[in-house]
Structure 1
Amino acid sequence: MTTTGNAFVHHDERSGTWTVSGHPEILAALSDPATFSSNVPRLVGGDAGDDDGNLVQMDPPGHRKLRTLVSHAFTPKVVAGLEPRIAALTTELLDDMDGDVELVSQLAHPLPVIVIAELLGVPASDRALFRKWADVLIAGDAEFTAKDEDGAQKQRFEKLARDVQPMVEYLIRHAHERRAEPRHDLLTALVQAEVDGERLTDGQLVNFATLLLFAGHITTTLLLGNTVLCLDEHPEQAARIRADRSLLPGAIEESLRLRSPFTVLARVTNTEVELGGQVIPADQMVLLRVRTANLDPRVFARPDEFDPARDPNPHLSFGRGIHFCLGAPLARLEGRIALNLLLDRFPVLRTDPADPPVPLPSPNMTGVASLPLRTAY
């Protein structure tokens, strides 16, 4: 691999991408959407515009309008109101456990799937479909390149589009049902919402629901597994948190910092820009390595240390600026409730060397696909 630049901003000539790994540099990029555009598909063979409803790939002013609309579903009051239901669902899932636990399949995966499905108004009988589609979206995750000379990247995008087509058709069908017979759910709210006097298109509805499924669900799944792993690796901290649950939110934030669920954010430059002492030309793909930035010693003292009392903890795992994760409050709430109930239920939560965790097979995410746990001494 041939690279040019410095420790925090450099160019990979093989892939044609720029990598940014420093915390201040990434913060600067995330704070300047006019220069660092989220419309990445324009460089990698896609065709995303500001009207497609995919918030992750939208720039102002379209992004602001749509985010304002959908943010009403995630106000602090709405999220807080979900706490009793999340606690009840977690308790139901825990009651189904018998003996040792496989955390991902028994709790970390199904809990956020059920929460998202209920928010959207999906029938309980169809939850398994949402779980399957979430797995399809994970499997389609791969590193970006700005030089798709053999067409492999384009083929991956086309395959992913085919694989998610059943989900697209399912969501459109339910959107049409909500137009005919409104209900008290998020899909109905989106169907009835207006942006500048216009209703959302089927494509916008599907893109937002897909984003909610992928980001809202996967973030919580990985957060739960990663926090349990951090506690397993630091039993002295786990004992403190069991004794004083006020430390748990700090432990969640430290796990987010050390094991960022999404390790990289992609941007493209609209104009030439200087970042970290390097000049990046226009129309370049820039990969923001969030997980590396969360270990930047210029910002975090003892960056490799798991410290639940770390304050401040300005990690970038939920992004910053206009694209700060819309579902972050929900993910934090689900994590806090589920982990508290796990600690209440089981006196021991430790990994077993004979049955180790299975890492998630994704280059852009940190987490486990399977996490067997011992629940007794």
Structure 2
Amino acid sequence: MHNTAFPPSNPSLTARILQDPLNPFHCYRQLREQHPVYYSREFHSWFISRYEDVQNVINDPVLFSSEQSIRSRPKATRQNSNAARTLLWTDPPRHRQLRSLINLAFTPRTIANLAPRITEIVHAQLDQVTPYGEIDIVADLANPLPIIVIAELLGVPIQDQQQFKHWSDIIVSPARQEKKQAVIAMNNYFQSIVQQRRQQPEDDLISALLSAHIEGIYLTEAEILSFCRLLLVAGHETSTNLIGNALLTFAEHPHVFEELKDDLTLIPDAIEEVIRYRTPIQRLRRAATVDTELGGQMIKAGDIVSPILGSANRDEQRFVDAERFDLHRNPNRHIGFGHGIHFCIGSSLARLETRIALEVLLTRFTGMQRKPDSKLEHVASSFVYGVKSLPMTFEN
């Protein structure tokens, strides 16, 4: 432990986030108003809660490094030092090179071309529950949809989708040793697929990643494996929780269901407001590279800094009536998918899956509401916001 002179702190302020992860927003407001740069002993990091500060941190990889934030983790939780970092954990200039190469394969056209297949998957999932008048939004739709899409996009057997979900759930959980084993298992799995595609390319993303190059520079195998891991985990968790959070929020605001059903063109705006109101990825992780002052606090080199996207998106200095869900909010410059060089590379896929899921749900079903006896339980993660289950009733 370094010798940082931490500010006086009430441990219960951030401990309450752990105690009530479904409602961290009151604590966020206290942080913004009283301790905008606050050292959390529970999370072993500086919580950055105001919009402007959060944006400044995530936009400055020189002062606040993604790569060094991983190096500072306990040895047992780090990936193999010989393994390539994902886009999340690299800094410029290598981050820029990686992203440029990946963008050659993971193109807007690739994403847009998935729309018909996503629509088929959503209808197929809803067909299974239509006779019963009940659906668990998470188990029956939000979980399987992105897993199936990612499996098909990567070109891996669909029968492995439950294994994908298992790995993804472990990696976003606090279970350190299990997380390490899951990363190893994922690497081994994807390595065999990559080797197959080297011998026999197919029309899938892994084959495209293998062939992508800029001026003779190709992605290494380790970098391809790291992107497969990132797409599986981040792509699954973001889409699953965005869909679940949308339905949870609409159930709390029944008039939104009616407005959207009357005018499906409002769905994209509704999705953006859900991203702001219930941000799927609540916080990020950076490391200070040098001693620096922020919000009146001295942050030492090597200290972990946690920009809280979920707090920034409810900052009253940026959003009018920030605690209210407003379907017609304009402007809505949230940072729910990050900002700058680390803007979520899979955000367009998450938006597309969520838009199509909502369009089909609102077209096929009426009278959707949460089952009154259902209890909400937060997913097993301190940085993802979502529920494990969301039973709802509907009429055909």
TM-score by length of 2: 0.86
Contact 1:2/1:12, CA 8 A, preserved across alignment: no
Match of 2:140 among 96, 100, 106: 106
Shift of 1:3: 2.8
Shift of 1:196: 6.3
> Which residue of structure 2 aligns with residue 19 of structure 1?
47
Match of 2:380 among 350, 353, 361: 361
Summarize the Cα distance change of 1:236–1:315 in structure 2 as closer, same or farther, 3 Å threshold: same
* Structural mapping, 1:36-47, within 5 Å: 36-39=64-67, 40-45=69-74, 46=78
Shift of 1:327: 0.4
Summarize the Cα distance change of 1:361–1:128 in structure 2 as closer, same or farther, 3 Å threshold: closer
Query: Among the aligned pairs, what percent are the same residue?
Result: 38
Match of 1:338 among 349, 352, 357: 357
Summarize the Cα distance change of 1:32–1:307 in structure 2 as closer, same or farther, 3 Å threshold: same
Q: Does 1:63 align with 2:82?
A: no
Match of 2:121 among 89, 94, 102: 89
Summarize the Cα distance change of 1:51–1:196 in structure 2 as closer, same or farther, 3 Å threshold: farther
> Which residue of structure 1 aligns with residue 63 of structure 2?
35
- Distance across 1 between alignment mates of 2:374 and 2:36: 38
Write the deviation string for residues 300-341 of structure 1: whole angstroms up to 9, x where unpaired.
110111101111111111000100000001100110001110
Write the deviation string for residues 167-226 of structure 1: whole angstroms up to 9, x where unpaired.
221110010000011111111112223466444333222211010011111100000010
Summarize the Cα distance change of 1:49–1:334 in structure 2 as closer, same or farther, 3 Å threshold: same
Shift of 1:48: 7.8
Q: Does 1:77 align with 2:137?
A: no
Summarize the Cα distance change of 1:72–1:200 in structure 2 as closer, same or farther, 3 Å threshold: closer
* 1:41 aligned partner, one-letter code: I
> Which residue of structure 2 aligns with residue 153 of structure 1?
none
* 1:20 aligned partner, one-letter code: I
Match of 2:151 among 110, 114, 117: 117
Shift of 1:349: 1.6
- Distance across 2 between alignment mates of 1:86 and 1:169: 28
Instruction: Give me the CA root mean square deviation.
Output: 2.2
> Which residue of structure 2 aligns with residue 304 of structure 1?
323
> Which residue of structure 2 aligns with residue 328 of structure 1?
347
* Structural mapping, 1:1-377, within 5 Å: 2-3=8-9, 7-12=35-40, 16-39=44-67, 40-45=69-74, 46=78, 52-97=84-129, 98-99=131-132, 100-138=134-172, 141-142=173-174, 156-194=175-213, 197-376=216-395
Contact 1:10/1:19, CA 8 A, preserved across alignment: yes
Structure 2 residue ranges without an equivalent (≥5): 1-6, 11-30
SS at structure 2 position matched to 1:349: strand
* 1:19 aligned partner, one-letter code: F
SS at structure 1 position matched to 2:38: strand
Contact 1:357/1:372, CA 8 A, preserved across alignment: no
- Distance across 1 between alignment mates of 2:379 and 2:41: 28
SS at structure 1 position matched to 2:285: strand
Write the deviation string for residues 269-299 of structure 1: whole angstroms up to 9, x where unpaired.
1122232333322221101111111111000
SS at structure 2 position matched to 1:18: strand
Shift of 1:357: 3.2
* 2:107 aligned partner, one-letter code: T
- Distance across 2 between alignment mates of 1:91 and 1:376: 16
SS at structure 1 position matched to 2:269: helix
- Distance across 2 between alignment mates of 1:50 and 1:7: 39
> Which residue of structure 1 aligns with residue 16 of structure 2?
none
The alignment of Structure 1 onto Structure 2 pairs a total of residues equal to 362
Shift of 1:369: 0.8
SS at structure 2 position matched to 1:279: strand
Contact 1:50/1:63, CA 8 A, preserved across alignment: no
- Distance across 1 between alignment mates of 2:218 and 2:267: 42
Write the deviation string for residues 130-165 of structure 1: whole angstroms up to 9, x where unpaired.
222222223xx33xxxxxxxxxxxxx5443112343
Contact 1:227/1:252, CA 8 A, preserved across alignment: yes
Shift of 1:51: 7.4
* 2:53 aligned partner, one-letter code: E
Contact 1:66/1:195, CA 8 A, preserved across alignment: no
SS at structure 2 position matched to 1:88: helix
Contact 1:356/1:372, CA 8 A, preserved across alignment: no
Contact 1:102/1:371, CA 8 A, preserved across alignment: yes
Write the deviation string for residues 81-138 of structure 1: whole angstroms up to 9, x where unpaired.
2111111111111112232111111110011001111110012232232222222223
Structure 1 residue ranges without an equivalent (≥5): 143-155
Summarize the Cα distance change of 1:16–1:105 in structure 2 as closer, same or farther, 3 Å threshold: closer
- Distance across 1 between alignment mates of 2:79 and 2:252: 44
Summarize the Cα distance change of 1:127–1:297 in structure 2 as closer, same or farther, 3 Å threshold: same
* 1:231 aligned partner, one-letter code: F
